[in-house]
Chain A
Amino acid sequence: MTTKTGIGASVLRKEDARFITGTGAYTDDLSLPGQVYCVFVRSPHARAIIKSIDTTDAESSGGVIAIFTGEDLRSDGIGDLPCGWLVKSKDGSDMLAPSHPAIATTHVNYVGDIYAMVIAETIEEAKNAAELVEADFEVLTPVVDVATATTADQIHENVPNNQCYDWELGDSAAADGAFANAVHVTSLDIVNNRLIPNAIEPRAALGNHDAASGSYTLYTTSQNPHLERLILAAFVNVAPEAKLHVISPDVGGGFGSKIFVYAEETAVIWATAKVGRPIKWRAERIESFQADAHGRDHVTRAELALSGDGEFLGLRVKTIANMGAYLSTFASSVPTYLYGTLLSGQYKTPAIHVEVKSVFTNTAPVDAYRGAGRPEATYVVERLVETAARELGVDPAELRRKNFIQPSDFPYATPVALTYDTGDYEASLERALSLAKYSEFAKRRNESEANGRKRGIGFSCYIEACGLAPSQVALSLGAGVGLFESAEVRVDVTGSVTVMTGTHSHGQGHETTFAQVVSDKLGIPFENVTVVHGDTSKSDYGLGTYGSRSLVVGGSAIATATDKVIAKAKKIAAHMLNSTEEQVSFDDGIFKIPDSNESLSFGEVAFSAYVPGDFPIEELEPGLSEKAFYDPANFTYPAGTHICEVEVDPGTGTTEIVSFVAVDDFGTVINPMIVEGQVHGGITQGIGQAMLEHGVYDADGQLLTGSYMDYTMPRADDVPDFIVDTTVTPCTHNPLGAKGCGEAGAIGATAAVMNAITNALDVKELAMPATAETVWRAITGD
């Protein structure tokens, strides 16, 4: 059905009215009777031994209710914050995970690490008391540099060489063989700069304990409330799962940083029972900078082996990935199964070998951030391919074409453990070349040069594995949870529909997109579909939102449950029409039988399901509500081409992006407007990484970019008007044909930008972010 609100329509977002008018309900907007406030006392040192903590003065400060230290949690049986993905080293040994208490007990290991929590009647009283908590620290030399972390002082007792694991994927001998036969080898040293996520809404938690029932309710800024509940119950021992209710209300952005179970909400939900009052905490922006999980932070050596005519023969990649001070919830998976597996890119590279050492440093934990591993992989592959083209004097588009996996090659098994189901990489490349007016680039470059400016163009033909994830594949690779998704499609008596999903929308517009899917399938008005998410007592166990999975996995669950509703409704309709189920057709919300003028609307059948007078009560249960748990058969593989064109002012090193084209294949698109918005946001973050953003610690482990005065977020005037388009090869293995679009922009854009700037400057390597000074030095030869 193609309607103004069905699949494929750019419906305005249902949720925007409340967001734009300030009537959303974010965690910090919620308050409970008797609520008190919490402030965390954070380490000013990157690495220190806690010799003692004196809370005497703080406890006598006005309004203080309680002060807790790590010992209080430990003695109450509260466990460490776990990492949910077990990665094994190449020798078969398990990764080494240091103890990660919510509140530090013996050591603090990064600036911002929590060593006490203060609970008081007001936030100001809590802050006053926090200043009076006195810790005696023995300050140690911190480990800050990722490249030399394995030879620096040992941070954690059980982690020699600060090495979490030494992992590999692919065939080392085959890759070495490819290099032995290579006519040309292109190599690059690549630093993938550390990023700090910066959602608009800071993290927050509001905990309540009901002494009468013994149950806990946690309102928090989580991308996956069920996972939060599971981990707090099963691993941290806060409460039995059945006694813990987690609600993620409106959440203002996450970008991955709100996937994880953090110390703060853990301490809040635990302490609420201790003090017998609801407790609220909301991060101040400086806490977000210090203690939200950061992203990226890789140091890589990468080599591409080519034949004489530019055929890719092999790829070798060695990466050191920074985990920060502790393992965040999914940290271990990001530089391994979300990175190494993507190094085939869009190409038929027959031999690939990747080694990744993950190391600990005295910096904030590093975990998934929009794209999570896949931007890092794309950056390696696409910088190498572009550099190889330049070294060989071949058009970079032509070199890619020559090596693309062809439509006839699908399903295509890569040498790095994935099987791509479908795609047409040349189609997106050709469309992007046309939109970028590539054939006229030389003319534009000449014009720029005449004006004293340097012009460059850069490509990025990215691929990503999305729709996390086939549970058995993920579990076999070390995941601690399945990665299916739940849905319930509950038809109301009057024929309206309530959809419960285990995914969570924190900006993505699920309330709109999912309603489009259901309204399209049931032929009922879009307005009659309400999507409910973010509440563990309303939705079945689901895995939340990340990895561009919500539509692909969650939407497929919804589509499947909707099909079950239709199947049951057909049986009811058959009875009502005195026909058989096989005879009943359902189209555009109407049940019909052949050769008859009789028909029933969806609403009439729904009514009969709940007021079962005319109803096959002996064969069917009354009611019309169906559930589905959808486990994907494979990952999905969105792919596309980004082309960036820049102009550099050599006088200042300032780079302007003069054109940015993105042609993406997301499979079936439900709402083109929302998809376009996702692409814009993602590209902006990708540009941010390339040119602006950098989380910087000094040698003492102090965060130099702890506010917007120093951490450069991309702004509207930093980016051009994007030219975006899509090509479509529907996913072959899910009911919607969708592949996911949330991360593509951030995955593809960075390499395109850096390829364009290095092209303009005619340099091989350039550090990110390509700030004015970095570019100026490249021009002046410093």
Chain B
Amino acid sequence: MYSFKYHSVSSTEEACTLFESSESAVYLSGGMTLIPTLKQRLDYPTDVIDLGAIDDLQGIDTENGSVRVGSRTCHADVACNPHIQALADLAGGIGDLQVRNCGTIGGSIANNDPAADYPAALLGLGATVHTNNRDIRADEFFLDLFETALHTGEIVTAVSFPTPLRAAYVKFPNPASRYAIVGVFVAEHNTGIRVAVTGAGSCVFRATAIEEVLQRDFRPAVVEGVSVDHSKFNSDIHASQEFRGHLVTEMTKRAVAKIA
């Protein structure tokens, strides 16, 4: 990696001040994407600001029917919290043990990898992203490939998940990276059904046509007849657009079957 200045900060205010005064700074949370990127010299920040010592970004609180997860909470900790079992299951299936003990929810969603698992949970559960200066609904947070609604220098502090009536996440992992080729998060809320799909497209999205049929009849079989437009899906050596389209249907069926 190229040389950079390393900073450990103890508050988001300190982090933001440093960020603004640096030529080109990045925040370091779990480092599961950033560190490999730096090692391969694919990024060359002048300053790396480590958020690891900010205590109030850590931890999980369950209050008023929702779960608030601090942005620096690692996947392994979320996986151990059964309050929303589907969320715990999802976190427990990210990467491998080492990744789950280092990688954080804030880092994952701020990066918005198209094949990451967490965006499906946020969108499927209708979560709210808290930052150092505002709240952003998940529906407005994930914009496109590696693109979010975060402003430059803005820090995710926590994510609040409303507790669903029932929910399940099923993913078809890439055999090499174990990222999602397709991951589908199905959740029923008082407000209706949400079906969020990750891995298939350039960014997590809601499968509204599937949501509509499930709203009427929450059974795996009804998903079968819904056509999924795969023309804008990702395609690579692991899965074609067509296969991803098929997997959206198949993973949705399996998620519904788990909780129907």
A-side residues, CB < 8 A to B, are 124, 127-128, 131, 286, 651-652, 692, 694, 696, 704-705, 708-713, 718, 771-773, 776-777
Contact = CB atoms under 8 A, between A and B. Distances in A.
A708 B243 contact: no
A316 to B, nearest CB: 33
Given A124-B3, A705-B237, A710-B237, A776 B246 contact: yes
Given A652-B247, A652-B250, A776-B243, A710 B176 contact: yes
Given A696-B237, A773-B240, A773-B243, A712 B176 contact: yes
A194 B165 CA distance: 49
Contacts of A709: 176-177, 179
A558 B7 CA distance: 59
Contacts of B176: 692, 705, 708-713
Contacts of B239: 772-773
A127 B40 CA distance: 11
B175 interface: yes
A771 B3 contact: no
A772 B240 CA distance: 11
Taking each of B176, B238, B247, which has the highest tally of chain A beta carbons within 10 Å of its own beta carbon? Answer: B176
B233 interface: no
B218 interface: no
A128 B2 CA distance: 8
B211 to A, nearest CB: 21
A651 B247 CA distance: 8
22 contacts: A128-B2, A131-B41, A652-B172, A652-B250, A692-B175, A692-B176, A694-B237, A696-B237, A704-B237, A708-B176, A709-B177, A710-B176, A710-B236, A710-B237, A710-B238, A713-B176, A771-B175, A772-B172, A772-B175, A772-B243, A773-B240, A777-B243
Given A127-B41, A652-B250, A771 B238 contact: yes
Taking each of B2, B177, B243, B250, which has the highest tally of chain A beta carbons within 10 Å of its own beta carbon? Answer: B243
A694 B237 CA distance: 10
A696 B176 CA distance: 13
Taking each of A128, A651, A708, which has the highest tally of chain B beta carbons within 10 Å of its own beta carbon? Answer: A651
The 7 tightest CB contacts between A and B, nearest first, are A712-B176, A773-B243, A709-B177, A712-B175, A651-B250, A710-B176, A696-B237
Contacts of A127: 41
Contact of A708 (B40, B172, B177, B246): B177
Contacts of B254: 651
B168 to A, nearest CB: 16
Given A651-B253, A704-B237, A710-B236, 7 more contacts: A708-B177, A709-B179, A710-B177, A711-B176, A771-B175, A771-B238, A773-B243
Interface string B187-218: 00000000000000000000000000000000
Taking each of A128, A131, A718, A776, which has the highest tally of chain B beta carbons within 10 Å of its own beta carbon? Answer: A776
B97 to A, nearest CB: 12
Interface in B150-196: 172, 175-177, 179
Contacts of A772: 172, 175, 239, 243
Contacts of A773: 238-240, 243
A602 B243 CA distance: 70
Contacts of A713: 176
Nearest to A782: B242
Contacts of B243: 772-773, 776-777
B37 to A, nearest CB: 12
A324 B226 CA distance: 47
A127 B1 CA distance: 9
B202 to A, nearest CB: 17
Contacts of A771: 175, 238
Contacts of B1: 124
A127 to B, nearest CB: 7
Interface in B244-260: 246-247, 250, 253-254
Interface in B225-241: 236-240
Contacts of A652: 172, 247, 250
A529 to B, nearest CB: 39
A215 B46 CA distance: 45
A708 B40 CA distance: 14
Contacts of B240: 773
B189 to A, nearest CB: 27
Interface string B10-45: 000000000000000000000000000000110000
Contacts of B2: 124, 128
Contacts of B250: 651-652
Nearest to A127: B41
Interface in B99-157: none
B219 to A, nearest CB: 16
A702 to B, nearest CB: 12
A341 B69 CA distance: 63
Contacts of A718: 175
Contacts of A705: 176, 237
A115 B67 CA distance: 56
Contacts of A124: 1-3
A471 B203 CA distance: 61
A772 B175 CA distance: 9
A713 B1 CA distance: 26
A718 B239 CA distance: 19
Contacts of B177: 708-710
A271 B26 CA distance: 39
A693 to B, nearest CB: 9
Interface string B74-108: 00000000000000000000000000000000000
B104 to A, nearest CB: 20
A131 B1 CA distance: 12
A214 B22 CA distance: 52
Nearest to A713: B176
A101 to B, nearest CB: 27
Nearest to A710: B176
A718 B178 CA distance: 12
A263 to B, nearest CB: 22
Taking each of B1, B237, B247, B250, which has the highest tally of chain A beta carbons within 10 Å of its own beta carbon? Answer: B237
B235 to A, nearest CB: 11
Contacts of B172: 652, 772
Taking each of B172, B175, B179, B236, which has the highest tally of chain A beta carbons within 10 Å of its own beta carbon? Answer: B175
A773 B2 CA distance: 40
A452 to B, nearest CB: 12
Nearest to B246: A776
Contacts of B175: 692, 712, 718, 771-772
Nearest to B177: A709
B199 to A, nearest CB: 13
A630 B237 CA distance: 48
A712 B41 CA distance: 24
A652 B250 CA distance: 7
Contacts of A692: 175-176
A77 B236 CA distance: 46
Contacts of A651: 250, 253-254
B48 to A, nearest CB: 16
Contacts of A128: 2
Nearest to B176: A712
A403 B246 CA distance: 44
A710 B250 CA distance: 23
B140 to A, nearest CB: 30
Contacts of B236: 710
Taking each of A124, A696, A712, which has the highest tally of chain B beta carbons within 10 Å of its own beta carbon? Answer: A712
Contacts of B3: 124
A696 B250 CA distance: 28
Interface string B36-63: 0000110000000000000000000000
